[in-house]
């Protein structure tokens, strides 16, 4: 049967961050420039501590190393996924990530980064950057050399509940005024293409133009996502994406619903409402793991959550 695994988020202060992790979700945050909460992470730059139960006080990376049976005996040196809540008060830089093959060669064997975004909230008239307008690498190089950033990037309108899959090689940026749930490969390899000419401590942040040009796919193609809803007793579920690294499904429970944990592990991100997972009270903003072999679980209440698992 096992037990659900609850974790202490790791918060990251950044210039573009805000205070929504506190005002929306009640977390106690280090400052009103808190841009990221790493909610489920075993990454060395933010390894979450387990807050209760048999493994209280240990980290997720420790659990992965010492209790692989809780993760269905999966192979791999590092816990593969990372769940963040991002509060972008200001624009993030325009960026791109490598895939596993490029990162293995150019980043000391690190994982590449495929990520996806679910928009938890945004201000009216918010936008987001996904994709670019260069048809070929030559055109891309020319547009970058001539700093034609606004011609290059694709800026799209943003709404609460939107979902985007960002494959490696996709030019992208979260923009100010949005709060986003991000599920990604456990990697922090980011190539910065353009930073709106901002200064940090009097200096522009480093750009990585050569590596960006290496990995950007031309022309841009939107990644496939899904939106077919299924209903069952007490719930509606919608698979949003299934890619080589993860499957992400949005679930709305109203009343009582029973689910089975039949994957190596499930990551649950509650983003609306409140209720119970078995006897455990949960509410908007909580993220936790359901280990391998947990079996079936009962969710009661009126709440929405994301279920993410490896493929
Ligand atoms: Zn990214």
Q: Render pLDDT for 177-205 as a digit per residue (tens, 0 to 9).
A: 999 999 999 998 999 999 999 888 899 99
How, if at all, do strands 199-200 and 115-122 pair? unpaired
Tokens 């992790």, residue located: 21
Distance CA 6, CA 150 (A): 43
Q: Is the dihedral of CA 225, 118, 188, 153 positive or negative?
A: positive
Residues carrying an active site annotation: 192
Q: Is the pLDDT reported for residue 2 higher than 90?
A: no
Q: How far is the CA of 237 from the centre of ligand 1 (A)?
A: 26
Q: Is the dihedral of CA 112, 118, 120, 126 positive or negative?
A: positive
Q: How far is the CA of 174 from the centre of ligand 1 (A)?
A: 8
Q: How far is the CA of 114 from the centre of ligand 1 (A)?
A: 8
Q: Nearest CA to 82 among 57, 54, 45? A: 45
Q: What is the pLDDT of residues 22-50, one digit of tens each?
A: 999 999 999 999 999 999 999 999 999 99
Percent of the chain at pLDDT > 70 equals 100
Exposed / middle / buried, residue 85 (Cβ in 10 Å: 0-12, 13-18, 19+) = buried
Q: Which tokens sit at 115? A: 């990520």
How, if at all, do strands 235-242 and 5-8 pair? unpaired
- Angle (nearest 5°) at CA 186 between 101 and 184: 95
Question: Whole-number mean pLDDT of the chain?
Answer: 96
**Residues 271 and 310: beta-carbon distance below 8 Å:** no
Q: How far is the CA of 169 from the centre of ligand 1 (A)?
A: 10
Q: How far is the CA of 211 from the centre of ligand 1 (A)?
A: 15
Distance CA 169, CA 172 (A): 9
Q: Is the pLDDT reported for residue 74 higher than 70?
A: yes
Look up residue 59 and give its DSSP letter: B
Q: Which tokens sit at 233? A: 């007793």
Pure H helices in the chain: 20-23, 60-66, 100-106, 137-145, 149-152, 209-215
pLDDT, residue 1, reads 61
Region 296-300: what's the mean pLDDT? 98
**Residues 280 and 302: beta-carbon distance below 8 Å:** no
Q: What predicted TM-score, i.e. pTM, was given to this entire model?
A: 0.96
Q: What is the pLDDT of residues 110-150, one digit of tens each?
A: 889 999 999 999 999 999 999 999 999 999 999 999 999 99
**Residues 113 and 190: beta-carbon distance below 8 Å:** yes
Say which residues have a Cβ less than 8 Å from residue 21's Cβ, sequence separation at least 6: 11, 27, 29, 34, 37, 85, 87, 285
**Residues 186 and 42: beta-carbon distance below 8 Å:** yes
Distance CA 34, CA 116 (A): 20
Percent of the chain at pLDDT > 90 equals 95
Q: Nearest CA to 98 among 108, 87, 90? A: 108
**Residues 265 and 211: beta-carbon distance below 8 Å:** no
Q: How far is the CA of 113 from the centre of ligand 1 (A)?
A: 8
Look up residue 206 and give its DSSP letter: P
């Amino acid at each position: 049967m096992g037990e659900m695994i609850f974790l202490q988020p790791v918060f990251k202060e950044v210039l573009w961050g805000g205070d929504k992790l506190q005002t929306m979700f009640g977390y106690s945050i280090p400052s009103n420039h808190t841009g990221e909460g790493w909610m489920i992470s075993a990454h060395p730059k933010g390894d979450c501590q387990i807050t209760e139960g048999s493994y209280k006080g240990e980290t997720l990376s420790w659990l992965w190393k010492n209790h692989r049976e809780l993760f269905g005996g999966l192979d791999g040196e590092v816990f593969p996924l990372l769940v963040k809540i991002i509060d972008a008060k200001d624009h993030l830089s325009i960026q791109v990530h490598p895939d596993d093959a490029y990162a293995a060669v150019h980043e000391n064997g690190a994982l590449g980064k495929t990520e996806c975004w679910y928009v938890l909230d945004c201000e009216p008239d918010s936008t987001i950057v996904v994709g670019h307008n260069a048809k070929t690498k030559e055109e891309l190089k020319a547009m970058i050399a001539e700093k034609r950033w606004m011609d290059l990037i694709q800026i799209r309108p943003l709404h609460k509940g939107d979902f985007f899959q960002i494959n490696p090689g996709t030019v992208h940026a979260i923009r100010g005024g949005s709060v986003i749930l991000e599920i990604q490969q456990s990697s922090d390899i980011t190539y910065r293409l353009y930073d709106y000419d901002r200064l940090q401590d009097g200096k522009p942040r480093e750009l990585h133009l050569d590596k960006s040009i290496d990995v950007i796919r031309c022309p841009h193609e939107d990644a496939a996502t899904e939106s077919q809803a299924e209903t069952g007793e007490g719930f509606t579920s919608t698979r949003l994406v299934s890619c080589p690294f993860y499957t992400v499904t949005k679930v709305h429970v109203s009343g009582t619903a029973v689910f089975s944990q039949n994957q190596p592990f499930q990551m649950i991100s509650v983003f609306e409402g409140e209720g119970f997972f078995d006897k455990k009270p949960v509410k908007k903003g909580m993220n936790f793991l359901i280990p391998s072999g947990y079996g079936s679980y009962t969710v009661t209440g009126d709440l929405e959550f994301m279920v993410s698992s490896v493929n």
